[in-house]
Chain A
């Protein structure tokens, strides 16, 4: 009779380890033994779960329309950008298509413009007439030195979400608020100590003083920025200093703002404070409404939205925060098919409508805006048609110029904002020092390798 050369009893470590070894070998064979699907592969990396779920549902349609093409969607979550960086550094292993987040793209633009790991999509966009069909200001975060390295996934206009019930209880009609001065007046009435213990129980607005998110949104609304179109540092401009002075005054002088509960606006403790009625308003991009809906569904019907208060009567009533692009890497092996997949995921009207349904994200493709869903009343906002409001504001979105030094700049900007709000430095001191640091950093690099 055939006998195995070894049996459970004589296996050196006993029965248990032998079973484990056998299971390990079998599962290894199972995993590595699977044959690759025939045909051509397109690899597409994603970092956001909601995007991944959307594409998972839509990719089979693309594959059916393009026989012989297999799309491999890989969701790496938050580690994706680091993996992409490693793949581009080693010039090996990058996907054909990839989505990149707005605060991460800067580092991919360092060095000579010809060595950037993304394909310039401007020729394709222009030859097919896509530029006119999309919101042009949204190309600025993904463009550098005249080249377009990514297509915007979104617009991310910002509105002011507010608790209508609690503002009304304080005798304030928020729909009458048009400027930030109006908001301060309204905020002073609504910021109150309800139980008379000397502590304020409800604040008119919650703002993040640890990071650049809210301050930078306000600065963009003013038409300012960290870098201008030519890449000059403009964070110490009078406009930037005035905006920071205004931002700090909401905390210190007017005392109508509370720092974000927890570490950012999406922190569970911030949601808890909202439910407890401690926060009456928040500057909210479209995606944040999607987060609120999924994280605090019990607040449905309590929020309403108005355009952001303007700096001056008749001024811009919105700004932009956050964003994602899709780019084609220079390692892409089949650019034509990848371009087709890109268009299918970013320019296909049914897909964009479906995206709004789940994430509240307004697409940059203007022709999609007349879909009925954007006009539908939103129950989460007490029946207000939110999509319509975002679309009304979309043409007025400010540009946000991209720069390879954004990551370093943003990191230092966080410190400057915190120093100004906690009154360790004046807004002028904080921003002047910041601008000098970033200019010195750029000058040092240019001194080492010359103008790029």
Chain B
């Protein structure tokens, strides 16, 4: 009946025909509109901005690659880059192995109270970074802090947030406390996805626990490890709020300054938006190169 109706009204028929062509584009339009407005346009505009420098609020001057040249000669940028790399290295060598270890423990048959432990290890990530920084400010206090109360026993009072050499270790340890439990959940999910038959087959072949770990667990976890590695690396390179509050803006002597913190300072405190955009693009290239290299080394691009 409806079919007849459509045949008798050519306009309606044309509309149905047309909308079939348009509809798919309409369905995907929200993503593309949002992407262009909030990602595409800012990306292009920040690239353009990196070639200019602001002259107050209303006008700007074209400086070409001047900002990039300045950046590579800027000692605070290099210090921030070193600090950021230090944090990333600390995250990958300390935080991720701890996360994997916790996941293995919670996946084993011998540990009791798994749900409570899982919640306990995961809970720090629910705390906003600002609060974590405030709490750890007290924990690292030179005289009365929780950490030093222990270290004083060994005869040394460490100025965690007051001596240049200890600032980044303090930030790394805080990062471990906050994020190890979060990464543990990824590893746990990965471990639970490994087929039990593989372990049974390994046992039949006479493999001990360590051999099973090396030859069954780790290879099976490869995609998860790759994911956690890359995400953690990107997160580390974007580090900002934790050291910003913990070290009161990177002090002393920029020992706690990171790339994003330096970007923020230039953009918002010094009103050097062109320079800040330049730092942003350099950071983007660093992240892109490291991520591609990591994924390649971990064999993610290989066909299985």
Residues of A within 8 A of B (CB): 81-82, 85, 88-89, 91, 104, 107-108, 110-112, 115-117, 209-211, 259, 261-264, 267-269, 272-273, 276, 278, 404, 407-408, 411, 414-415, 418-419, 445, 448-449, 452
Contact = CB atoms under 8 A, between A and B. Distances in A.
Main secondary structure of the interface of B (DSSP, over half): loop
Contact of B253 (A88, A108, A278, A419): A419
Interface in B24-83: 53-59, 61, 63
A211 B248 contact: yes
B161 interface: yes
Interface string B264-278: 010011110100000
25 contacts: A89-B273, A91-B57, A110-B56, A110-B57, A115-B56, A117-B57, A209-B252, A210-B251, A211-B251, A261-B143, A262-B137, A263-B137, A263-B248, A268-B138, A269-B137, A273-B143, A278-B143, A411-B265, A414-B251, A415-B253, A415-B254, A418-B251, A445-B55, A452-B55, A452-B56
Contacts of B254: 415
Pairs A-B, 10 closest by C-beta atoms: A111-B56, A263-B248, A269-B141, A210-B251, A107-B271, A115-B58, A418-B252, A210-B252, A115-B56, A407-B269
A117 B56 CA distance: 10
Nearest to A258: B143
Contacts of B270: 107, 407-408, 411
B61 A110 contact: no
Contacts of A452: 55-56
Contact of B143 (A81, A108, A117, A269): A269
Contacts of A108: 271
A449 B55 contact: yes
Given A115-B58, A210-B162, A407-B271, 16 more contacts: A88-B57, A91-B58, A107-B269, A111-B57, A112-B56, A112-B58, A116-B56, A259-B162, A262-B138, A262-B161, A268-B137, A269-B137, A269-B144, A414-B251, A418-B252, A449-B55
B55 A112 contact: yes
B247 interface: yes
Interface in B140-157: 141-145
B54 A110 contact: yes
Contacts of B162: 210, 259
A262 B268 contact: no
Contact of A85 (B142, B248, B268): B268
B77 to A, nearest CB: 13
Chain B residues touching A, range: 20 to 34
A117 B271 CA distance: 13
A111 B54 contact: yes
Contacts of A112: 55-56, 58-59
B50 to A, nearest CB: 15
Contacts of B253: 414-415, 418-419
